[in-house]
């Protein structure tokens, strides 16, 4: 079976790839490849020519050499939980999936470092060292499914990153297959320092545009042992966000501060019955960790701030079962959206935390302007907002409205000193807004850096950096399946 494009040269390439990964290590039947048409950004779809599943670095290297020799576009992919269309083959190209590279190669507890293949799932590593007291700290909501290679490629965040940092803070070194098939190791000994520029940091968050991450040296850190968790509800999102802002300004660094607005509370409550008051307009779920002896004092200070902002129904808990329930509610929030809308588009901007109250008011205003429902559940402590724009995928007019509203929200966030994306990445989704965020010289430098790694621009090309190669016109009518409809 020949892939989506079905040409003779495709057949040659596929035969060569099969010789490397075996019969079961490649699929090219469009029916089988349907789930590889998109990632979590379902607005943008593209059928690959084939998907290969190498099991080690050598196979990745050999596959990349074949694809490079034939000039075939190469798209790295983890488990496909990305939210910006970054691991999708637009036009054509072969997806190189790392999901079968799932070996934890070594765990060194004395030096607090683990060496893993890129396809190891995020939680698999922490599960493997569960009894040690250490863990791999980055905790994106997708952590049960997402791979550590994917987390690194997108520099994933999560709920606990407010205190404990994002993925790049926990990656000591990487091995990457370069676009010519050669293998780069940078800071690959698991040391806590290196000589010269920090290439591992550059590779983290590069969204697979510089090569394919195949192995990582992960920093293991002590798993917090003592917690206090509380939630409070508010009559307005403004008061809730003001509480977040005031806590930040007080100098307290909670582990996490997560906010759900009224729409989201009701969705979650309807779905899972956690006992949240459904008449509330906003809910703050906050956790602190640290030295047991000071947590109560710290929590009292936080509660005083919340009360000063008219919080009600303040509930504290140190019971591990209730705590797990509360966090389960937060982590399942996105899943619950499916009960009220077939399709949704989650935005991801990061704003100065002092501006959260007005940001949320602006998001609500934009929602009204475009007649859209926009529930919010987000990492408020980081200033990382996630407006969830609900729409019907079958209605092109609605798709246009969510894209216009998204653009307006993101442009506003950039204008007030925020970032275009806090943790999801640029992918193809936010390409058109990159010139709003960066000056021309910086964008030119990004492209030059890309070309340094990938002179023939074969690996995940035209993602992350705006160019004229892909006609990304998200707002073009009838562009529902593919951004711009011309990819």
Partner 1 sequence: MLTATPAIQTRTPDELAAAVRQSRETATPLVDYGVAHRGVGNPPPESHTPLKQCASARGGVIEHYDRDMAIRVASAITVADLHAALRPTGQFVPIDADPDLTLGEIINHNVYGALRVGYGSIRDLLLGLRFIDGNGDDIHVGGRTVKNVAGFDMTRLLVGALGELGVVYEATLRTYAIPEQIIVVDVQLDDPTRIDNRLTDLLLASAAPTAMSIANLTGKWMVRMGYFGKPAGCLAQLRSLETFLDTIPGARIAGHGPMTLDGELDEIHARRSWRRTASSLVKLVVPPAATGKVCWELAETMTGVSIHVAAYPVHGCIFAGGDLNAHETERLGRLADELCVLHHGLRVWYNRPAGAEHLAPFAPPQDDWSLMAKLKQTIDPRWILNPGRLLTPPTEAYPR
Any contact of residue 250 with partner 1 (CB under 8 A)?
A: yes
> Closest CB to partner 1 among 58 and 270?
58
> Closest CB to partner 1 among 170 and 266?
170
Which parts of 453-482 interact with partner 1 (CB under 8 A)? 453, 464-465
**Least gap, CB of 194 to partner 1 (angstroms):** 7
Any contact of residue 420 with partner 1 (CB under 8 A)?
A: yes
Any contact of residue 24 with partner 1 (CB under 8 A)?
A: no
Q: Which among 39-47, 140-148, 227-235, 421-429 is the span making contact with partner 1, rule CB under 8 A?
A: 421-429
Any contact of residue 251 with partner 1 (CB under 8 A)?
A: yes
Which parts of 399-418 interact with partner 1 (CB under 8 A)? 417-418
Beta bridge partners of 460: none
Which parts of 356-395 interact with partner 1 (CB under 8 A)? 379, 382-384
Among 91, 77, 82, CA closest to 27: 77
> Closest CB to partner 1 among 17 and 153?
153
Pick the binder of partner 1 from 104, 252, 303, 475 (CB under 8 A): 252
**Least gap, CB of 137 to partner 1 (angstroms):** 12
**Least gap, CB of 28 to partner 1 (angstroms):** 32
Any contact of residue 168 with partner 1 (CB under 8 A)?
A: yes
Among 76, 74, 4, 80, CA closest to 38: 80
> Closest CB to partner 1 among 340 and 419?
419
**Least gap, CB of 478 to partner 1 (angstroms):** 28
Which parts of 123-162 interact with partner 1 (CB under 8 A)? 133-134, 154-155, 157, 161-162
**Least gap, CB of 237 to partner 1 (angstroms):** 18
**Least gap, CB of 227 to partner 1 (angstroms):** 14
From residue 328 to residue 347, what is the string marking binding to partner 1 with x (rule CB under 8 A)?
--------------------
Give yes or no for a contact between 26 and 17, defined as CB atoms under 8 angstroms apart.
yes
> Closest CB to partner 1 among 58 and 198?
198
Any contact of residue 201 with partner 1 (CB under 8 A)?
A: yes
Any contact of residue 94 with partner 1 (CB under 8 A)?
A: no
Any contact of residue 23 with partner 1 (CB under 8 A)?
A: no
> Closest CB to partner 1 among 145 and 183?
183
Name the token pair of 220: 């293991």
Any contact of residue 291 with partner 1 (CB under 8 A)?
A: yes
Any contact of residue 298 with partner 1 (CB under 8 A)?
A: yes
Measured between alpha carbons, how far is 184 from 173 in angstroms, rounded to an integer? 11
Size of the site for partner 1 (CB under 8 A): 91
> Closest CB to partner 1 among 416 and 486?
416
Measured between alpha carbons, how far is 187 from 141 in angstroms, rounded to an integer? 28
Pick the binder of partner 1 from 24, 195, 273, 321 (CB under 8 A): 195
**Least gap, CB of 356 to partner 1 (angstroms):** 10
């Amino acid at each position: 079976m020949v892939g989506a494009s079905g040409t003779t040269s495709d057949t040659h390439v596929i035969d060569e790839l099969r010789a490397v990964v075996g019969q079961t290590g490649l699929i090219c039947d469009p029916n089988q490849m349907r789930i590889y048409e998109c990632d979590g950004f379902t607005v943008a779809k593209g059928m690959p020519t084939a998907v290969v599943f190498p099991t080690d670095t050598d196979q990745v290297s050999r596959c990349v050499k074949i694809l490079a020799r034939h000039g075939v576009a190469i798209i790295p992919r983890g488990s496909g939980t990305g939210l910006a269309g970054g691991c999708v083959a637009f036009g054509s190209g072969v997806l190189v999936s790392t999901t079968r590279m799932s070996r934890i190669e070594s765990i060194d507890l004395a030096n607090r470092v683990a060496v893993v293949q890129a396809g190891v799932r995020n939680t698999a590593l922490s599960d493997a060292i569960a009894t040690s007291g250490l863990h791999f700290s980055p905790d994106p909501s997708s952590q049960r499914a997402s791979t550590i290679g994917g987390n690194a490629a997108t520099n994933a965040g999560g709920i606990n990153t407010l205190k404990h940092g994002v993925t790049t803070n926990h990656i000591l070194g990487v091995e990457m297959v370069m676009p010519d098939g050669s293998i780069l190791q940078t800071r690959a000994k698991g040391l806590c320092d290196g000589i010269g520029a920090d290439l591992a940091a550059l590779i983290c968050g590069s969204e697979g545009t510089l090569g394919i991450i195949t192995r990582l040296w992960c920093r293991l850190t002590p798993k917090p042992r003592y917690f206090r968790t509380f939630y409070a509800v508010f009559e307005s999102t403004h008061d809730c966000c003001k509480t977040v802002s005031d806590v930040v300004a007080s100098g307290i660094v909670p582990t996490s501060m997560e906010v759900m607005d009224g729409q989201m509370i009701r969705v979650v409550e309807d779905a899972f019955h956690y006992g949240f008051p459904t008449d509330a307009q906003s809910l703050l779920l906050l956790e602190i960790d640290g030295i047991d002896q000071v947590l109560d004092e710290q929590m009292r200070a936080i509660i005083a701030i919340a009360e000063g902002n008219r919080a009600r129904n303040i509930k504290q808990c140190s019971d591990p079962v209730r705590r797990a329930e509360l966090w389960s509610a937060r982590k399942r929030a996105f899943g619950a959206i499916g009960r009220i809308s077939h399709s949704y588009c989650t935005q991801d901007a990061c704003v100065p935390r002092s501006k959260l109250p007005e940001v949320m008011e602006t998001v609500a205003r934009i929602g009204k302007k475009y007649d859209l429902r926009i529930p919010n559940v987000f990492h408020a402590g980081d200033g990382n907002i996630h407006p969830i724009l609900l729409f019907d995928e079958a209605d092109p007019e609605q798709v246009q409205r969510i894209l216009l509203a998204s653009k307006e929200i993101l442009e506003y966030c950039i204008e007030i000193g925020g970032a275009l994306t806090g943790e999801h990445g640029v992918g193809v989704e936010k390409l058109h807004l990159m010139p709003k965020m960066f000056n021309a010289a910086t964008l030119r430098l990004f492209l030059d850096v890309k070309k340094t790694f990938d002179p023939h621009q074969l690996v995940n090309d035209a993602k992350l950096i705006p160019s004229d190669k892909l006609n990304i016109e998200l707002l073009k009518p009838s562009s529902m399946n593919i951004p711009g409809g011309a990819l």
